[in-house]
Amino acid sequence: MIFLENEHLTASFANKGAELQYLKSKKYNIDYLWNGNPTNWGKFSPILFPIVGSLKNNTYYFENKGYKLSRHGFARDYDFEAIMRSNTEVVFTLTHNAETLKVYPFRFVLHLRYTLTELGLSCTYEVTNPADDLLLFSIGAHPAFKVPIQDDVQYTDYFLKFNKDQILAYHKISEDLIANETVEIELKDGKLPLQHELFYEDALVFKSLKSDCISIACDKNPHGLHFKFKDFPFFGIWAAKNADFVCLEPWCGIADGVDHQQNLEEKEGIVSLAPGKTWSRSWEIECF
């Protein structure tokens, strides 16, 4: 484990998957992350790379050859190397290897940079293409936040507050793939009340979210968080069945649609990175 600390917060990370596993406010004595209880879901904040979600038949095709990849890709299962570390910042790195090239025939350098701030934590994904050909990839976040944040309130006392949306249109999931059918939810004052039943049919998947900040808040308790993100075209919200957490997931990429033909170049949301170029995106947690 690797630990970061400043005057306001402490955080911990596992080398496996470069996964954030703990984010605690010293001032409020609150750990804002889900505890990783395997009874419900034994993860904390996995990275999704080089795909987001599921492939049709767990298979994609590139240059007339088929490859198998399981849901959300392989990065979360590999040990990253911490190449830079200070009291308040750490940079983890994963690169291609003989095993990844068997299932994903691209060379890559993936950095995760975590930085403690005065109010919370920022995470930046950096992908570099060291090869002479295009690098095709998707990437996404999957942090799980504890709800209720404190024990004096219940799950259903909390809501998600969207800073720019009043109507949500989400895509349903059919056998792990994105269905064509959408469902609209009309919000009151930008608020989506949390209830376990929201996720009984899997995640809520958005392709046209306007918001770039979603807050977890409660009228009966002063504590919560703001989750900020920018330039992620897709977003997922999910929780395991009846579990006391909610995942806020900005994505550059998305699961295959039910009608997808499985060619990687034609995959919705796929990022195409030129040789020698670096691509980055960031998200941030602000605790209150």
247-287 confidence digits (pLDDT tens): 999 999 999 999 999 999 999 999 999 999 999 999 999 99
In this predicted model, which residue has the larger pLDDT, 151 or 230?
A: 230
137 alpha-carbon distance from chain centroid: 15
Three-state DSSP class for residue 204 = strand
Give the per-residue SS3 of 159-199: EEEECCCCEEEEEEEECCEEEEEEEEEECECCEEECCHHHH
- What is the average pLDDT score of the chain? 97
Taking the CA atoms of residue 60, residue 260, residue 174 and residue 281 in that order, the dihedral angle to the nearest 10 degrees is: 70
pLDDT given for residue 233 in this prediction: 98
Q: Which pLDDT belongs to residue 227?
A: 98
Q: Sign of the C-alpha dihedral, residues 248, 233, 107, 277?
A: negative
Please report the pLDDT score of residue 30 as a whole number: 97
Contact between 257 and 115 under an 8 Å Cβ cutoff? The reply is no
Angstrom CA distances, 104 to 46, 59, 153, 173, stand at 19, 11, 45, 25
Joined together, the tokens standing for residue 141 give 């976040």
Q: Determine the structural domain holding residue 265 and report its residue range.
A: 2-287
The Cα 252–Cα 80 span in angstroms is 21
State residue 215's pLDDT score: 98
R_g of the chain, CA atoms, integer Å: 19
Confidence band, pLDDT 50/70/90 cuts, at residue 64 = very high
Report how many domains make up the chain: 1
pLDDT tens digits, 105-125? 999 999 999 999 999 999 999
- Domain harbouring 227, CATH code: 2.70.98.10
Q: Record the tokens describing residue 110, joined without a space.
A: 């993936």
Q: What gap in Å lies between CA 211 and CA 231, rounded to an integer? A: 11
Q: What is the pLDDT of residues 227-250, one digit of tens each?
A: 999 999 999 999 999 999 999 999
Distance CA 82, CA 113 (A): 10
- Name residues whose C-beta falls within 8 Å of residue 177's C-beta, 6 or more positions apart in sequence: 54, 56, 255, 256, 257, 258, 260
pLDDT value for 211: 98
pLDDT of residue 222: 96
Please give the Cα distance from 205 to 214 (Å, whole number): 15
By three-state DSSP, how is residue 73 classified?
Answer: coil
